[in-house]
Amino acid sequence: MARVHSRRDFLRAAAVVGGGATLAACAATPAPAAGTTTGGTEAQAPAEAPVGIPKIRYLTDWYGGARGELTSQFLGEFAEKFPDVATVSYEPAPQVGERLLVEFAAGTAPDIFLWSFTDTPEFKEWLLDLKPFFEVDPEINEPDIIRQHPIFYENGQILALPFQGLFFGEEINVDLFEQAGLPMPWEHDHAGDKWWNWDDFVEAAVAINNLGDDIYGCTLGNDVDGPNWFQWVYSNGGSYWNPDTFETTLASNEATLEAMLMLYKLMCEIKVAMPSEDYTVMAESLGISPEAAGVVGIPRRLEEQGAAAAEINVHRVGIARAPRTNSFMSNHNHQPNCISSKTPYQQEAWELGKYLASTEVQLAIGLNGTSQPCRHSAIESPEYFASQPAIAKEALVEQTQKGEFYPIFKGWREWRTEVRPIVEKLFFCEGDPVDALKEADEVGTAILKRYNEA
Amino acid sequence: MTAAQVPASGAAPAPTQKRGLSRRLARDLTGWAFISPWVIGFIGLTAFPFLFSIYLSLTEYSMAAPPEFIGLENFRFMFFEDRVYWTAMRVTWTYAAIAVPLGMVQSVFIALILNQRVHGIAFFRTAFYVPGMISSVGWMLVWTYLLSKNGAVNWALALVGIEGPSYLNSTTWALPALALMGLFSVGSSMLIMLAALQGVPEHLYEAVEIDGGSDWSKFWNVTLPQISPALFYNLVMSLIGVLQSWQAAYLMTEGGPRNATLFYGLHLYRNAFQYFRMGYACALGWVAFMIILLLTGVNFLASKYWVFYEAD
């Protein structure tokens, strides 16, 4: 008599089949061939390396589009030129900072990664001191490196390898300058100084603003730590904070206050700057920039606009001379590669980081236009100069030499997040600007002291 | 094993009793084996983090170093020093006060309409439900455009001569705009109300008709009481969801302008992943949990006055 199978038998069989299928799915899959990294948004499986050659993980937020393609190109070139050093697992991630936080806490940190200097105070011990490598490796010439953030050089250490440079300055719509009959920034002459100053900047903004209802004289951004506000303040000799007392000095520092009020005047009294409410999140997320919409005079910056930038005749130049110092200070915002202090493959990670910091790679980054080089040899090369407006070369070099980074201290992120809504009153022309800045000083100082006075 | 099976002398159980024990044990073990994946996941991914976060709320923990016990300092800071905490509370409760009643009224209203027996009603039921299935990130980004100064909302208002503001850049309009936007995904609650409406016995409406009652009388005296359990469920779930929501603020306004949309959840997220204050973030989470728990308890206590179950 045939056995009648019960429901229990069926469930047992299903459990065995399901468990077996699960185990089979979890089994290691064959790795793709070496050098097949692509610029996608998914982590690439490390290639199966010959025995003895380690695999190292490179985490970066250069993914998708031109940056993803460039990174894949660089890693492919590294694999070709240095086949015996290491194979690289390219791990693109949009939120590198948050991903790194979790990975470090879990003890699974990548070997080398693109790093934001704003996180350095809290996580310095995660970064490998590269000074011994710099000292013995003549290929990476430290004087040739455009200065990284000072926070990477504290206590005699060197914690970063240069990778991505950003020297904010000013960008001008040449067509609108010509339409308004304005001299170019380099066509001014102030007692032999052939560069525009603050008064020239204001005059240009007013003239361009008067060209039409859909054109703004300038765009200033709406972030207290945005390039424009920051570099005007520091160009004028001001500072956002006192590093000795951890006091915020937006109102208490005379030079800072003067610069902030100059910009407030442009925005709210003369009214030649794009209103802050036009800086919508969506406009940026869709790539629809104010510049692409045609409302541009002296735009803020155009790195992300890509195709839109190609439609209008924009040149990047140095910002105008600030009134108090008669000088300018460009906002530098470089992002370096750093190596994990926990990696067992320090030398291999160094070789990759060194390659990505090489003049060859830096020049490729600069010529691509997606960022700027971090090496003087790349910035001042004939090829890079050829890609820049002829007359702006001097200003470009001067920008790389006269740079200021955002001040970095513990609690910087909270400072920025909490102070910003208060300073926004200036951007939205609400209330008395001095009162707003005094309130920002009070709030900002409390935050900085809480984090930095143990 | 029953009392009848236990030997009076206390000697070892008889073989039949042992087989019974083994069979029961085997059955129990089989049951545990089948549910073990869920149990392991629950313990490892829910229960343990849940309990561990209580400990973390009493520590200073940046993830760069091990947690350092600081007692109730996080809670003291929260209530007496963190000015942003009270702003976040106010914003979140204001949002709840707008979004929850509106959402419930809307779900009842749409369910009433969809409860009609007309041709093509299935299409409309689907159409109203589909937005709830769309990725919230996607439709939030779309709404960011719709609510912009030159977006579709202002275009529609301009047709009747109204000049709308830039909603997400206005301290007055940003929060109401997010609350109204939340009505877009009414599908789930609407479906629950629809199911409840379809469970209302017809003879109750007939009784009202016989008594000469109006449509409003039917709705107030029959429909509402009969669907009150579903209303109660939607109220509890809406409150819990709304008090925890923050995605719209994160994606669309970043908590601005001037903290006008700084939700509690966003403040918690910032403390955890941007300021690296995990301990404080856990403390914020636990306070939110206690508030929601208390509110849910109050809702349950109050429900006896307005929720009518069939068995009552």
Please report the pLDDT score of residue B2 as a whole number.
Answer: 46
Contact state of A104 with B258 under an 8 Å Cβ cutoff: no
pLDDT band at residue A432 under the 50/70/90 scheme: very high
pLDDT of residue A39: 37
- Answer whether B149 sits within 8 Å of A278, measured CB to CB: yes
Are residues B189 and B54 part of one domain?
Answer: no
Give the angle B113-B115-B118 at the CA atoms, nearest 5°: 90
- B chain contacts of residue A101, beta-carbon cutoff 8 Å: 63, 273, 276
User: Is A104's Cβ below 8 Å from some Cβ in B?
Assistant: yes
Q: What is the mean pLDDT of residues B227-244?
A: 93
Q: What is the pTM of this model?
A: 0.78
pLDDT digits (tens, 9 = 90+) for A392-410: 666 677 777 777 777 777 8
Q: Which residue has the tokens 């107030």?
A: B220
> Do B81 and B185 belong to one domain?
yes
Largest CA distance in chain B: 97
What is the per-residue pLDDT for A247?
Answer: 93
Contact residues on chain B for A420, CB-CB shorter than 8 A = 256
Task: Give A424's contacts in chain B (Cβ within 8 Å).
Answer: 256-258
Q: What is the pLDDT of residue B263?
A: 96
Q: What residues of chain B lie within 8 A of the CB of A414, using their CB? A: 270, 274-275
B306 closest CA partner among B229, B204, B209 = B229
Same domain, B59 and B89: no
Interchain pair B148, A15: CB under 8 A = no
Inspect the interface and report whether the beta carbons of B63 and A417 lie closer than 8 Å: no
- What pLDDT, on the 0 to 100 scale, is given for residue A184? 86
Q: In this complex, do A98 and B273 lie within 8 Å of one another by their Cβ atoms?
A: yes
Assigned domain for B7 exists: no
User: pLDDT tens across B236-274, in order?
Assistant: 999 999 999 999 999 888 898 889 999 999 999 999 988
Give the closest residue to A329 by CA, choosing from A114, A118, A147, A190: A147
Whether B84 sits inside 8 A of A418 (CB atoms) is yes
Determine the pLDDT at residue B16: 60
User: By percentage, how much of chain B surpasses pLDDT 70?
Assistant: 93
Q: Does A421 touch chain B (CB under 8 A)?
A: yes
Chain B CB contacts of A282 under 8 Å are: 141, 144-145, 148
B268 and B214 both lie in a single domain: yes
ipTM of the prediction? 0.74
Whether A284 has its CB under 8 Å from any CB of chain B: the answer is no
pLDDT of residue A353: 95
Q: Does the residue B309 lie in any domain?
A: no
Domain containing residue B24: 13-69
Residues 6+ apart with CB under 8 A from A292: A305, A308, A311, A312
CA distance B255 to chain A (A): 9
Higher-pLDDT residue of A24 and A443 is: A443
pLDDT at A80 over 50: yes
Q: Of A280, A425, A428, which is closest to B168 when you measure between CB atoms?
A: A280
Neighbouring-strand partners of residue B60: B68
A180 to chain B, minimum CA–CA distance in Å?
28
CATH fold of A55-159+335-373 reads D-Maltodextrin-Binding Protein; domain 2 (3.40.190)
**Residues of chain A above pLDDT 70, percent:** 81
Q: How far is A412 from chain B (nearest CA, A)?
A: 8
Is B28 a residue whose pLDDT tops 50?
yes
- The fold adopted by the segment(s) A171-332+405-452 is D-Maltodextrin-Binding Protein; domain 2 (3.40.190)
Across the interface, whether the CB atoms of B149 and A443 are under 8 A apart is answered no
Overall average pLDDT of the B66-80 stretch: 95
The structural domains of chain A, with segments of one domain joined by +, span: 55-159+335-373, 171-332+405-452
Burial grade of A195 (CB within 10 A; 0-12, 13-18, 19 or more)? buried
Q: Which range among A220-224, A309-313, A418-422 shows the weakest confidence by mean pLDDT?
A: A309-313
B34 to chain A: which residues are within 8 Å by CB? 11, 15
Same-domain pairing of B59 and B93: no
SS (H, E, C) A187-208: HCCECCECCCEHHHHHHHHHHH
